[in-house]
Structure 1
């Protein structure tokens, strides 16, 4: 019921969710029901992640993205490290770690998240892990290489490449041009290949990894997908930053709930016809299309026409081979 409420409300505040719970209870009672869910429900991220991987089957190795999203609740920072998996071009949240501070993640936190991921998948099922400049350092990179995980990570301009700052390599590189180091060069004490380019904004982008240098920049461009994910969880979708919850377990259950809502929206949206704009990209994301379709289906079901909603339930959970539309009531 909370999953359906989140999709209809497109908001995570308790009062908004309570208004969309079925039954004749007063709003105050419904709000307490929502509070009990976040306080006691056994929903956890390992079970949610297993379900996500089953709902989004993929026969080949998967691309993973690592980044943080944060917001403020009064004077308190809410800071979440997120590991997302790319499925049919969309970044989907898989695992996350709530940080007890407002700054960058540390080595131990990243390793814990990676440990959790490798209980669900083997290193051979990870095509590449893509991350930004925050996720660097000898211990972290050495851990990835030791586990056999391929990585593609942006470097800071002052990172040493064979004892020379990265910013001093390719001094004459022009906008849109590439510079490659196709042999192993020492980066944070480890042998990696490196690629660099100058963006349209004039910013130098330097990427390193244990994959061929010629692939690095194309792989790194996929990182923007996790920024799209964060926008969909927040201002463009479920307004995650509106929550007044700050306790670790409560926020974990909320993020699990939003993960399921996001996945359902994406699965539906990818099958919706999308208008292509002049620049060649879709006018609306798969998430937005799916969320609109689901909200419309809930509205029709509330008016006594549940057929569309039942069909969307079956469509989303078809890969589990357990959901039958005739056994699902509204």
Structure 2
């Protein structure tokens, strides 16, 4: 089943101008399936699911090499991820900020994921150029505009964000675009 699903993902990848080299398409298909199976974004965790015939360290190096050598069009990746979901399903969109520390470098990311409540995939993200880790309304609206280039508002079952995603202009934008928004604390 694993390899037939990989083949299906490869067929899907062929529909998008993401990569031209066959071996890179194969690794991308394996990577996407490993991303789904691991339910994680860390390379060391994804490596555990990539190729069971080799050591995890080799899988991790293969992932690192792929990202180092390949330029990806992330708009096409978002479209690919969207197409993994059945077209008749409504999707949840979740927006959140996350902070990763790399030594002394603090990386603040505004992240949007899409989900059918069985499968959740990263969709769009933006590195925030600040030390606070907070997004502003302009950051959020720019990111949601990218999402709406692919997902129609009527395909969205709900849009979720936590209590930091508030503000009159933000809520007005969502309302004007007919997006049902839920905030939690």
Structure 1 length-normalised TM: 0.38
Give aligned pairs, total.
142
Structure 2: unaligned runs, 5 residues or longer: 1-23, 35-42, 48-54
Instruction: Supply the distance in 1 between the matched residues of 2:69 and 2:162 (Cα, whole angstroms).
Output: 35
Matches within 5 A, 1:161-240: none
Residues 88 and 137 of structure 1: CA distance in aligned 2, closer, same or farther (over 3 Å): closer
Residues 9 and 153 of structure 1: CA distance in aligned 2, closer, same or farther (over 3 Å): closer
| CA RMSD of superposed structures (Å) | 3.1
Equivalent residue for 2:179, pick from 136, 143, 149 = 149
Deviation at 1:39, TM superposition (A): 4.5
What residue is the counterpart of 1:328 in the other structure? none
| 1:143 partner SS | helix
Q: Does the CA-based 8 Å contact 2:91-2:157 persist in structure 1?
A: yes
Q: Does the CA-based 8 Å contact 1:79-1:101 persist in structure 2?
A: yes
- Max Rg structure: 1
What residue is the counterpart of 1:19 in the other structure? 58
Pair 1:67-2:96 in alignment: yes
Instruction: Supply the distance in 2 between the matched residues of 1:84 and 1:125 (Cα, whole angstroms).
Output: 14
Structure 2 length-normalised TM: 0.64
Matches within 5 A, 1:119-158: 119-154=149-184
Stretches (4+) displaced over 6 A = none
Q: Does the CA-based 8 Å contact 1:123-1:147 persist in structure 2?
A: yes
Greater RCO structure (CA 8 Å; 6+ sep): 1
Matches within 5 A, 1:113-124: 113-124=143-154
Pair 1:48-2:77 in alignment: yes
Measured against aligned partners, the alpha-carbon deviations of 1:66-95 in whole angstroms (never above 9, x if no partner) come to 112211111111121111112243432111
| 2:157 partner SS | strand
Instruction: Supply the distance in 1 between the matched residues of 2:123 and 2:136 (Cα, whole angstroms).
Output: 19
Residues 145 and 78 of structure 1: CA distance in aligned 2, closer, same or farther (over 3 Å): same
Instruction: Supply the distance in 2 between the matched residues of 1:64 and 1:118 (Cα, whole angstroms).
Output: 11
Instruction: Supply the distance in 1 between the matched residues of 2:152 and 2:44 (Cα, whole angstroms).
Output: 37
Measured against aligned partners, the alpha-carbon deviations of 1:192-235 in whole angstroms (never above 9, x if no partner) come to xxxxxxxxxxxxx6xxxxxxxxxxxxxxxxxxxxxxxxxxxxxx
| 1:149 partner SS | coil
Instruction: Supply the distance in 2 between the matched residues of 1:70 and 1:9 (Cα, whole angstroms).
Output: 19
Deviation at 1:53, TM superposition (A): 1.5
Residues 5 and 122 of structure 1: CA distance in aligned 2, closer, same or farther (over 3 Å): closer
Q: Does the CA-based 8 Å contact 1:77-1:101 persist in structure 2?
A: no
| 1:82 partner SS | strand
Bigger mean CA offset, 117-126 vs 129-138? 117-126
Q: Does the CA-based 8 Å contact 2:89-2:116 persist in structure 1?
A: no
